[in-house]
Amino acid sequence: MERKRLLYLVSSDPRVSPFDINMAYDAGFDAVVPYGSVDAASVPGLVQDVMFSRGAKGARFSSLFFSSSSVRVAEAMLQAARKTLFPPFVIGLMVDPKGGYTTAAALLARAATVCRSKGIGETTPLRVLVAAGTGGVGKASAALAALAGASVTLTSRSAALAEAAAGEVKTLFGATVEPRAAPAEAELALLAAKADVVLATGAAGAQLLSRRSIEALKGPKVLADVNAVPPHGLEGVRPQDNGTEISRGLFAVGAMAVGDLKFKVESSLLKDLLGAESPPVIDLEAARLRARELEESR
């Protein structure tokens, strides 16, 4: 009898994202089972029920995907699951907090391509500004940029929130970023003026920099925005922009350009989770490597 391929989507949020459910089915899983309102302490029991119910040979046909909006909780869930597993009961694991890891990986890969094509960062380390960076995409983007050698500033309207986010980046990923408060557009514009790359990672529909502030910037710079919902985070950066020069020396990467690669990254990683011979553990580093591989193969 052929085993059904099952994916358990686990989140501390009350509801699991339909985005991940849809992508998992499209990747080929036979069934996707959402579990909401789960905490890290509940994960070992859940993992044991999943793996023991299918036997040593059948455990591999089940996988767990941790999708909580909290990066800290999602990482705690992943670690709890890894500690619970032991041979021969092995299952595939993936963490992508509300799509934050695959989005951040795609964002950094696309921005890096534009930087290389325009000669930005060739002789000195990049200065990266992660604007409104306290969410999952912002924290993951800040971590990836810092681990790649960039000097990273992470902002929030609140100094306390920026410091908390920077602390989480350090604790979870071992990356050091500078927290800065930018309570208004004027403060953010001053920080953007000092950066080589500006990553807008704020909430959907929240404008961070106006066209006037952007046009006052001096290039060369890359301006990348993950917000596809009007008004966009960076006014004048269109969703379809992919290295477009929107003002002298200012090169834009929009949400659709990032989203296209994010979709490919998540889809391919889900297929790895589904069919890899050895059960994988797919984390932020795996997302980074896959995004780079897909971007370089374009």
**Residue whose entry in the numeric block shows the structure tokens 């299952």:** 91
| Band of pLDDT at residue 298, cut at 50, 70 and 90 | confident
Express each pLDDT in 174-184 by its tens digit.
Answer: 999 999 999 99
Rounded to whole angstroms, the Cα distance separating 28 from 13 reads 25
* Ranges of CATH 3.40.50.10280 domains, the chain: 6-99+263-296
User: DSSP states of 49-73 as a string?
Assistant: HHHHTTHHHHGGGEEEEE--S-HHH
Q: What's the mean pLDDT in 244-265?
A: 97
Helix, strand, coil percent values for the chain (each to nearest 5): 45, 20, 35
Query: Do the Cβ atoms of 115 and 222 come closer than 8 Å?
Result: yes
Taking 70 as the threshold, does the pLDDT of residue 116 lie above it? yes
Rounded to whole angstroms, the Cα distance separating 12 from 140 reads 19
* Ranges of CATH 3.40.50.720 domains, the chain: 102-258
Rounded to whole angstroms, the Cα distance separating 233 from 133 reads 12
With a CB cutoff of 8 Å and minimum separation 6, the contacts of 117 are 243
- pLDDT at position 91 is 94
Express each pLDDT in 153-168 by its tens digit.
Answer: 999 999 999 999 999 9
Strand partners, 128: 152, 197
Cα-based torsion angle of the residue sequence 67, 71, 142, 102 in order, rounded to the nearest 10 degrees:
-10
Pairing mode, if any, of strands 221-225 and 62-66?
A: unpaired
- pLDDT at position 275 is 87
CATH ID of 102-258, from 3.40.50.720, 3.40.50.300, 3.20.20.70, 3.40.228.10: 3.40.50.720
Q: For the domain 6-99+263-296, what is the CATH code? A: 3.40.50.10280
